[in-house]
Amino acid sequence: MDTWVWWLVAAVGLGIPLVVTALPEFGMLAVGAVAAAVTSKLGAGTVTQFVVFAAVSVALIAVVRPIANRHRRQRPELQTGVEALKGRSAVVLERVDGNGGRIKLAGEIWSARSYDTGRSYEAGQQVDVVEIDGATALVL
């Protein structure tokens, strides 16, 4: 069997742990094996094939891993659920103080409580949602 076929078998062999473990490094090694298979098919020697395999694999790992890690650490820009309500403005419908009240937030009526228990807000005032505690908005 030709050497390039063995490189393709190695690429498939490296692809299996990629699928099973979801470690992208195996995929990068598989791409390196495919590059070595192409090098073999073009008639290069065994040493050149291993050099191509190592160079392509290391280059992919060196370039792709830092990019993937950077993307994984970033907070998603799209906030949903109660996280999307924090920082929004609301209108007081019924007096809001440390004990409770009602506000209109994002088109819905919410129970609310003053974040600063000593302050109160009268109907018609604009308030900002600081936090959501269960089904109650804490406002300032």
CB 123 within 8 A of CB 93: yes
Q: Say how many C-beta atoms besides its own lie within 10 A of residue 14's C-beta.
A: 20
Q: Can you give the pLDDT at residue 25?
A: 87
Positive or negative torsion for Cα 58, 59, 61, 62: positive
Question: Across the strands, what pairs with 94?
Answer: 102
63-83 per-position pLDDT tens digit: 988 888 888 888 767 777 778
Q: Can you give the pLDDT at residue 72?
A: 81
Task: Please tell me whether the overall predicted TM-score, pTM, comes out greater than 0.85 for this model.
Answer: no
The share of the chain scoring above pLDDT 90, in percent, equals 54
Measure Cα distances from 48 to 30, 31, 57, 59 in Å: 17, 16, 14, 16
Q: Can you give the pLDDT at residue 134?
A: 84
Alpha helices for the chain (secondary structure H): 3-21, 24-41, 46-73
Q: Can you give the pLDDT at residue 19?
A: 85
Measure Cα distances from 102 to 16, 58, 59, 110, 135 in Å: 57, 60, 59, 6, 11
Q: Can you give the pLDDT at residue 91?
A: 94
34-56 per-position pLDDT tens digit: 999 999 999 999 999 999 999 99
Ramachandran angles phi, psi of 111, nearest 5°: -75, 145
